[in-house]
């Protein structure tokens, strides 16, 4: 029988090494296979705004791809934010462009992370009398009512192709190769035992 320096069979030593290597690979990959999610927003869901609101933002736990979509509407369905949103790292920001009267507002968003994970949802916040703002002097578009989801793309958000392998596939490939290597080592050990 083939043994190591401490009398441990070679196949057992190989298996122990493979298990240690698997633990090393799996530990960092847990974050790679995790889905993107919203971790914060301004205003927060259910918050009351007591100062003039100039912009709204949504934060993810991963960097964001462009374009991103954010729609803010008042209780009548009128949109009050810009039709475009800016992306900086993990944050998506959209300017408030119309006057905000006291009342309840809905912010809907649809965002795709750099790992091609779509994130969508909505939240509500209230603007108090001290947080109200007047409409800018420039002419505004018609006050046609808009549903909270208007201005957002369909739920099937186009996701650009990524050249990077997802962590889950890396783990599967690693285990497949590791099992082939282990089978080869075990067979070699059995043949050596039969030859003794």
Is-cis flag, bond preceding 81, omega within 30? no
Q: What is the pLDDT of residue 185?
A: 75
Q: Are 111 and 120 in contact (CB under 8 A)?
A: yes
Q: Which tokens belong to 118? A: 């779509």
- Is residue 161 classed as helix, strand or coil in its secondary structure? coil
What pLDDT, on the 0 to 100 scale, is given for residue 156?
47
Long-range residue pairs from 156-165, CB within 8 A, at least 24 positions apart, any chain: 157/110, 157/112, 157/118, 157/120, 159/112, 159/116, 159/118, 160/65, 160/116, 162/115, 162/116
Output the pLDDT for position 160.
Answer: 44
Where the chain has pLDDT below 50, the residues are 2, 29-32, 137, 139, 142-146, 155-165
pLDDT at residue 25 in the model: 54
C-alpha torsion sign, points 154, 156, 162, 168 = positive
Q: What is the pLDDT of residue 35?
A: 83
pLDDT at res. 159: 41
Dihedral of CA 165/167/170/172: which sign? negative
Q: What is the pLDDT of residue 192?
A: 67
């Amino acid at each position: 029988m083939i043994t190591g320096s401490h009398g441990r069979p070679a196949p057992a030593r190989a298996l122990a090494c493979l298990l240690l290597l698997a633990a090393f690979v799996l530990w960092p990959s847990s974050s790679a296979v995790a889905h993107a999610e919203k971790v914060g927003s301004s205003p927060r869901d259910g918050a009351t705004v007591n100062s003039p609101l100039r912009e709204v933002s949504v934060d993810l736990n991963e960097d964001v791809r462009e374009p991103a979509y954010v729609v803010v509407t008042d209780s009548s369905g009128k949109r009050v934010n810009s039709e475009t949103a800016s992306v900086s790292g993990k944050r998506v920001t959209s300017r408030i462009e119309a006057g905000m009267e006291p009342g309840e507002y809905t912010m809907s968003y649809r965002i795709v992370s750099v790992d091609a994970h779509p994130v969508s949802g909505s939240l509500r916040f209230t603007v108090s009398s001290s947080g109200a703002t007047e409409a800018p002097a420039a002419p505004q578009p018609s006050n046609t009512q808009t549903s909270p989801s208007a201005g957002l793309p369909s739920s099937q958000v186009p996701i650009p192709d990524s050249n990077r392998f997802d962590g889950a596939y890396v783990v599967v490939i690693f285990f497949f190769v590791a099992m082939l290597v282990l089978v080869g080592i075990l067979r070699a050990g059995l043949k050596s035992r039969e030859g003794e």
